[in-house]
Amino acid sequence: MLENLLNDLSKSDILESIYECHSDAIFIISSSPERNIVDCNDAAARLFGFDREELIGKSIDIVHTDDAASGEVEEIFFPKTVKKGFFHLDKFKMKRKDSSIFFSELSVMPLFSATGEHQGWVSMVRDISEKCKVEEDLSIERTRLSAHLNAASITLITLDKDGRIDFVNSYGRALLDLDDSDVRDRNWFDEFVPAGKEEETISLFYKLLLDRDRNGKYFVHIIDTPKGRQKTIGWYAAVYYDESDAFSGFILRGVEITKNEEFAVRMIKSNESLRKLNSRLHKRREDKMAGLTRKIMDDMGQVATGLSFDVSMLEKMLWKDDFNSKRIEMSNKLKEAGETLNYLIQFGRDLSSGIRPTSLDDIGLPATLKWFAGDFQKKTGIICSAQHISSSVLVEKDSSIILFRVCEEIFENIKNHSRANRVDILLEEKDGRLNLSIKDNGVGISRGDISNPASLGLLRIKENVRDISGTVVINGEKSTGTTITISIPIKK
Q: What is the pTM of this model?
A: 0.39
**With contact defined as beta carbons under 8 Å apart, do 131 and 142 qualify?**
no
Choose the weakest-confidence range: 148-152, 158-162, 323-327, 335-339: 323-327
Q: Looking at residue 164, what DSSP letter applies?
A: B
Is 261 inside any structural domain?
no
- Is the model more confident about 276 or about 172? 172
Is 207 inside any structural domain?
yes
Supply the pLDDT for residue 97. Answer: 93
Considering the domain architecture, whether residues 197 and 309 belong to the same structural domain is answered as no
* pLDDT single digits (tens) 403-432: 888 888 899 889 988 899 999 999 888 888
Supply the pLDDT for residue 484. Answer: 93
Residue 169 clears pLDDT 90, i.e. is over it:
no
Strand order through the sheet with 155-160 = 165-168, 155-160, 247-256, 230-241, 217-224
Residue 60 clears pLDDT 80, i.e. is over it:
yes
Domain holding 229: CATH number?
3.30.450.20
Choose the weakest-confidence range: 154-168, 197-211, 346-360: 346-360
Choose the weakest-confidence range: 229-238, 251-260, 264-273: 264-273
- 252, β-bridge pairs: 157, 237
What Rg value do the Cα atoms of the chain yield, rounded?
49
In the chain, how many domains are there?
Answer: 4
Cα–Cα distance measured from residue 232 to residue 237, given in angstroms and rounded to the nearest whole number:
15
Q: For the chain, what percent of residues have pLDDT higher than 70?
A: 75
Q: For the chain, what percent of residues have pLDDT higher than 90?
A: 16
- Which amino acid is located at 323 in the chain? F
Cα–Cα distance measured from residue 470 to residue 462, given in angstroms and rounded to the nearest whole number:
9
Host H or E run for residue 472: strand 471-477
Supply the pLDDT for residue 6. Answer: 43
Cα–Cα distance measured from residue 307 to residue 314, given in angstroms and rounded to the nearest whole number:
10
Strands annotated E in 80-229: 87-95, 101-112, 118-127, 155-160, 165-168, 217-224
Mean pLDDT of 388-413: 83
* pLDDT single digits (tens) 198-246: 888 888 787 777 777 666 778 787 888 888 888 888 888 888 887 788 8
Considering the domain architecture, whether residues 407 and 468 belong to the same structural domain is answered as yes
Q: Where are the alpha helices (DSSP H) in 93-187?
A: 129-151, 170-175
Considering the domain architecture, whether residues 297 and 366 belong to the same structural domain is answered as no
Is 268 inside any structural domain?
no
Q: Where are the alpha helices (DSSP H) in 322-454?
A: 325-355, 359-362, 365-380, 397-413, 447-451
Confidence of residue 322 (pLDDT cuts 50, 70, 90): low
Supply the pLDDT for residue 328. Answer: 63
- Is the model more confident about 354 or about 114? 114
Considering the domain architecture, whether residues 384 and 485 belong to the same structural domain is answered as yes
Considering the domain architecture, whether residues 156 and 115 belong to the same structural domain is answered as no
Identify the domain boundary among 356, 386, 414.
356
Choose the weakest-confidence range: 98-107, 285-294, 346-355, 377-386: 346-355
Considering the domain architecture, whether residues 364 and 409 belong to the same structural domain is answered as yes
Supply the pLDDT for residue 326. Answer: 56
* pLDDT single digits (tens) 433-477: 989 999 999 998 888 888 776 677 787 788 888 888 889 999 988
Considering the domain architecture, whether residues 352 and 423 belong to the same structural domain is answered as no
On the CB side of 484, CA atoms within 13 Å amount to 25
Is 262 inside any structural domain?
no
Identify the domain boundary among 127, 161, 193.
127
Is 142 inside any structural domain?
no
Is 80 inside any structural domain?
yes
Q: Which domain holds residue 395?
A: 360-489
Supply the pLDDT for residue 306. Answer: 62
Residue 333 clears pLDDT 90, i.e. is over it:
no
Supply the pLDDT for residue 183. Answer: 74
Supply the pLDDT for residue 341. Answer: 64
Is 145 inside any structural domain?
no
Considering the domain architecture, whether residues 285 and 179 belong to the same structural domain is answered as no
Identify the domain boundary among 239, 256, 273.
256
Reduced to 3 states (helix: H, G, I; strand: E, B; else coil), residue 322 is: coil
Is 136 inside any structural domain?
no
Considering the domain architecture, whether residues 200 and 320 belong to the same structural domain is answered as no
- 234, β-bridge pairs: 220, 255
Mean pLDDT of the chain: 78
Considering the domain architecture, whether residues 192 and 220 belong to the same structural domain is answered as yes
Supply the pLDDT for residue 282. Answer: 57
Considering the domain architecture, whether residues 15 and 108 belong to the same structural domain is answered as yes
Considering the domain architecture, whether residues 111 and 25 belong to the same structural domain is answered as yes
Choose the weakest-confidence range: 83-92, 212-221, 292-301, 454-463: 292-301
Backbone angles phi, psi at 424, to 5 degrees: -120, 135
